[in-house]
C-alpha cells in the first residue's frame, strides 16, 4: 500500500485506510492476509493512521508495554522476512535467466560449425542481460604447437563513450538477445572491432608463472580478482598490453577445458560500470565455459580433419596419376618403390585423420555423427589398404613356428562366421586328419585365408557353398578354397594377382597380390582355377619341410 504521512489530507487518509493491510487484517470477510513488502512496512511506520493504532496499545500497564514490544519485534521480523524473500526472488529470477540464456546459447552453437561465429555466440552470452551481464568478455585459445595462449576474440566497449553509444543503440531499437544471436549466425560478416584486434596481438606462454590466464588453464581453476590496482593487474597478467585493457578494479578468469584437453580461457570484466564480480557470477561463467568446451573442440577437430583429408586427397591423386603408367609398362619394381613411398606418405595423414575423426565423433552433435562415422569407416578401410601395400612391398620378416594348418582354417572361419551366415552360405570342410604341423607365420597365413574366404563369400551374393580342403602331396601341404560363385572371366584371370587390379567397385586390388606374396615368402605358390558361372578354386601349396 501507499499510506499517507501526517501532512496528507483527511480524504487521502481515508483512501489509504481502504487499502491498509491492518484494515484487511481486521476484516472478518478477508480469507487471507497479503503481507506487505519492506518498502510498504517502512511507509506504514510513518503513517498517521498506523501510528494512531499502535499508540492506542501503549500504556503503563505491563501487558501494554509487552504488546508494544512484541509489535516492534514483529515489524522488525516482517522487514527482515520480506528483505530475504525479495533477495530469494531476485536470485531465482537471475537463475532462470541464466538457464534461459544457456539454453539459447546451446541451441545456437548446434547451428554453427564456424569457430568465429561460435565464439561470438559465447561472448554474447557472457555479456547478456542480468544473468551474466558482464560489460566485456574475451576468449584466449590454446595453441598446442607453440605452447601458448593466443588472444582470439573480444566483445564489448573500450571506454565509457563507446559503451554509451552501444548500449543506447541496443536500448533505443529494442534489440533482444535472440536477435543478436540470429544476426551472428545468419547476418553479414562484420570486420573485427578494435578490442579484438588488440587481443589478437597478445600471446601468453603456457606456464603458470607467465600469467594468471595461463595459471587458470594449467590448473583448471577459476579466479575472481577483486579490487586490484593498476600495478597489481599488470603483475597478475604479466603482459603490458593486456594489463592496460582489463579493468584494474577486478576481472574473472575461467578455464575452458575437457577432461583430456585444454582449450582456452574466458575472461570477463566490468570496466564501465565497475560492478563487483560475485562468486555466483563466476559460477555462471564456468557453466557457460563448460558448455562451450566440447563445441569449440569439435570445430577444431573438424578443421584438422578437413586439412588432413585434403592432404590425403593430394597423395591419392599422385598415386592414381602414376599407377596407370606403371601398370601399363609392367614396371613392378617401380610399383613396389612407389607403393612403399605412397603408403608411408598416406599413413601419416591417415593416422591423424583417424585420431581426429574418432575424437570428433566422441564430442559430435547428432547432426554430424553419421558423417563422422562414415569418415571413421573409410579411414579404417584406407588404413587397411596402406597396410596391404606395405605388406606387399616390404621384405619378408616371417615369424615361422610349427602350426596345424587345420586349426588356422577353423580360426579364420570362426572370425568370419557372421559374414558367411549373413550371405546364406554353406561351408563344407574336408580337412586331412593326419596333417603334420608345418612351419608358417600364423598371422600372415590367416591373412591369406581371410582374403580368399572373403573373396569367395562376396562372389556368392545370392548364397552358395564354400568348400575348404587340406591334403598332403609329396613335400607340400595343399589348401584348396573353392566357391560356387560367378567365376572369373578368362580374359582377366591373368591379372587378378596384379597390384591394384580389382573388379569390385570399392576394391583395393591388393588382397590377392598380398596373398600371393605371403605364400611366395613361405617358398610356396598359389594357383587359380575358374569356370564362368560355376565358381572359382584357389590352390595353395606350402612346403611341408619349410
Q: Identify the CATH number of the domain in which residue 127 sits.
A: 3.30.450.40
Q: Are residues 267 and 358 in the same domain?
A: no
Examine residue 98 and state whether it is found in any structural domain, yes or no.
no
Q: Are residues 433 and 495 in the same domain?
A: yes
pLDDT tens digits, residue range 68-125?
A: 666 666 666 666 766 676 666 666 666 767 777 778 888 888 888 888 999 999 998 8
Q: Are residues 168 and 118 in the same domain?
A: yes
Q: Which of 393, 411, 433 is the last residue of a domain?
A: 393
Q: What does each C-alpha distance from 110 to 25, 44, 262, 295 come to in angstroms?
A: 55, 53, 21, 8
Examine residue 174 and state whether it is found in any structural domain, yes or no.
yes
User: What is the distance between the alpha carbons of residues 384 and 391, in angstroms, rounded to a whole number?
Assistant: 10
Q: What's the mean per-residue pLDDT of the chain? A: 78
Q: Are residues 172 and 309 in the same domain?
A: no
At 50 the pLDDT is 66
Examine residue 3 and state whether it is found in any structural domain, yes or no.
no
Q: Are residues 456 and 322 in the same domain?
A: no
Q: What is the CA radius of gyration of the chain?
A: 39
Surface-to-core class of residue 270, CB atoms within 10 Å of its CB (0-12 exposed, 13-18 middle, 19+ buried): buried
At 223 the pLDDT is 92
Surface-to-core class of residue 38, CB atoms within 10 Å of its CB (0-12 exposed, 13-18 middle, 19+ buried): middle
User: What is the distance between the alpha carbons of residues 301 and 540, in angstroms, rounded to a whole number?
Assistant: 46
Q: Are residues 305 and 429 in the same domain?
A: no
Q: Are residues 384 and 272 in the same domain?
A: no
Examine residue 491 and state whether it is found in any structural domain, yes or no.
yes
At 112 the pLDDT is 82
Examine residue 5 and state whether it is found in any structural domain, yes or no.
no
Contact 346, 386 (CB under 8 A): yes
pLDDT tens digits, residue range 399-447?
A: 889 999 999 999 989 888 888 888 889 999 999 988 888 899 988 898 8
Give the total number of structural domains in the chain. 4
Domain residues for 70? 10-91
Residue 540, beta-bridge partner list: 479, 526
Examine residue 316 and state whether it is found in any structural domain, yes or no.
yes
Q: 123: helix, coil or strand?
A: helix
For residue 504, give every residue at least 6 positions away whose Cβ sits within 8 Å of its Cβ, in sequence order, or none. 458
Cell numbers that stand for 41 in this block? 512496512
User: What is the distance between the alpha carbons of residues 236 and 215, in angstroms, rounded to a whole number?
Assistant: 10
Q: Are residues 18 and 54 in the same domain?
A: yes
Residue 282 pLDDT > 50: yes
Q: Are residues 414 and 538 in the same domain?
A: yes
- pLDDT confidence tier of residue 301, bands split at 50, 70 and 90: confident
- Measured in degrees and rounded to the nearest 5, phi and psi for residue 204 equal -120, 120
Cell numbers that stand for 243 in this block? 594489463
pTM: 0.50
For residue 406, give every residue at least 6 positions away whose Cβ sits within 8 Å of its Cβ, in sequence order, or none. 431, 432, 435, 470
Q: Identify the CATH number of the domain in which residue 532 sits.
A: 3.30.565.10
Q: Which of 58, 91, 124 is the last residue of a domain?
A: 91
User: What is the distance between the alpha carbons of residues 156 and 172, in angstroms, rounded to a whole number?
Assistant: 18
Contact 89, 55 (CB under 8 A): no
Q: Are residues 145 and 60 in the same domain?
A: no
Examine residue 23 and state whether it is found in any structural domain, yes or no.
yes
Examine residue 101 and state whether it is found in any structural domain, yes or no.
no
Q: Are residues 435 and 516 in the same domain?
A: yes
pLDDT tens digits, residue range 363-409?
A: 666 656 777 777 777 667 676 666 666 665 555 578 889 999 999 99
Q: Are residues 538 and 442 in the same domain?
A: yes
Amino acid at each position: 500500500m501507499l499510506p499517507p504521512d501526517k501532512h496528507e489530507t483527511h480524504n487521502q487518509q481515508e483512501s489509504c485506510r481502504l487499502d491498509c493491510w491492518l484494515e484487511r487484517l481486521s476484516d472478518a470477510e478477508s480469507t487471507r492476509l497479503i503481507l506487505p513488502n519492506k518498502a510498504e512496512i517502512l511507509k506504514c511506520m510513518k503513517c498517521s493512521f498506523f501510528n494512531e493504532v499502535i499508540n492506542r496499545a501503549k500504556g503503563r500497564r505491563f501487558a501494554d508495554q509487552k504488546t508494544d514490544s512484541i509489535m516492534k519485534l514483529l515489524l522488525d521480523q516482517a522487514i527482515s522476512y520480506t528483505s530475504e524473500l525479495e533477495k530469494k526472488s531476485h536470485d531465482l529470477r537471475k537463475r532462470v535467466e541464466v538457464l534461459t540464456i544457456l539454453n539459447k546459447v546451446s541451441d545456437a552453437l548446434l547451428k554453427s560449425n564456424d569457430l568465429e561465429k561460435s565464439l561470438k555466440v559465447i561472448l554474447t552470452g557472457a555479456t547478456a542481460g542480468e544473468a551474466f551481464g558482464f560489460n566485456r568478455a574475451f576468449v584466449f585459445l590454446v595453441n598446442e604447437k607453440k605452447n601458448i595462449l593466443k588472444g582470439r576474440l573480444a566483445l564489448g566497449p573500450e571506454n565509457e563513450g563507446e559503451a554509451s553509444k552501444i548500449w543506447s543503440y541496443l536500448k533505443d531499437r529494442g534489440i533482444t538477445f535472440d536477435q543478436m544471436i540470429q544476426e551472428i549466425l545468419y547476418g553479414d560478416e562484420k570486420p573485427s572491432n578494435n578490442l579484438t584486434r588488440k587481443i589478437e596481438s597478445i600471446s601468453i606462454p603456457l606456464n603458470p608463472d607467465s600469467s594468471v590466464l595461463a595459471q587458470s588453464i594449467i590448473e583448471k581453476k577459476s579466479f575472481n580478482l577483486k579490487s586490484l590496482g593498476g600495478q597489481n593487474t599488470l603483475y597478475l597478467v604479466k603482459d603490458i598490453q593486456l594489463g592496460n585493457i582489463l579493468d584494474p578494479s577486478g576481472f574473472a578468469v575461467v578455464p575452458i577445458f575437457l577432461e583430456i584437453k585444454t582449450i582456452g580461457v574466458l575472461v570477463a570484466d566490468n570496466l564501465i560500470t565497475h560492478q563487483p564480480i560475485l562468486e555466483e557470477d563466476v559460477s555462471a561463467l564456468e557453466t557457460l565455459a563448460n558448455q562451450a568446451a566440447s563445441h569449440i573442440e569439435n570445430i577444431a577437430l573438424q578443421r584438422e580433419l578437413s586439412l588432413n583429408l585434403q592432404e590425403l586427397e593430394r597423395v591419392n591423386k599422385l598415386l592414381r596419376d602414376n599407377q596407370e603408367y606403371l601398370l601399363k609398362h609392367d614396371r613392378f619394381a617401380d610399383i613396389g618403390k612407389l607403393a612403399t613411398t605412397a603408403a608411408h606418405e598416406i599413413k601419416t595423414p591417415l593416422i591423424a585423420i583417424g585420431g581426429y575423426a574418432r575424437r570428433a565423433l566422441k564430442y559430435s552433435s547428432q547432426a554430424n555423427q553419421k558423417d563422422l562415422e562414415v569418415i571413421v569407416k573409410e579411414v579404417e578401410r584406407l588404413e587397411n589398404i596402406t597396410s596391404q601395400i606395405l605388406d606387399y612391398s616390404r621384405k619378408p620378416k616371417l615369424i615361422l613356428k610349427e602350426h596345424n594348418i587345420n586349426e588356422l582354417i577353423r580360426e579364420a572361419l570362426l572370425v568370419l562366421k557372421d559374414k558367411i551366415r549373413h550371405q546364406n552360405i554353406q561351408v563344407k570342410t574336408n580337412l586331412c586328419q593326419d596333417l603334420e604341423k608345418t612351419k608358417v607365420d600364423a598371422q600372415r597365413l590367416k591373412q591369406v585365408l581371410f582374403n580368399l574366404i572373403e573373396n569367395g563369400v562376396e562372389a556368392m551374393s545370392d548364397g552358395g557353398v564354400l568348400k575348404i580342403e587340406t591334403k598332403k602331396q609329396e613335400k607340400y601341404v595343399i589348401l584348396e578354397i573353392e566357391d560356387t560363385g560367378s567365376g572369373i572371366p578368362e580374359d582377366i584371370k591373368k591379372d587378378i594377382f596384379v597390384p591394384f587390379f580389382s573388379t569390385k567397385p570399392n576394391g583395393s586390388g591388393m588382397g590377392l597380390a598380398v596373398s600371393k606374396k605371403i605364400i611366395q615368402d613361405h617358398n610356396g605358390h598359389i594357383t587359380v582355377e575358374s569356370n564362368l558361372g560355376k565358381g572359382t578354386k584357389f590352390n595353395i601349396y606350402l612346403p611341408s619341410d619349410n
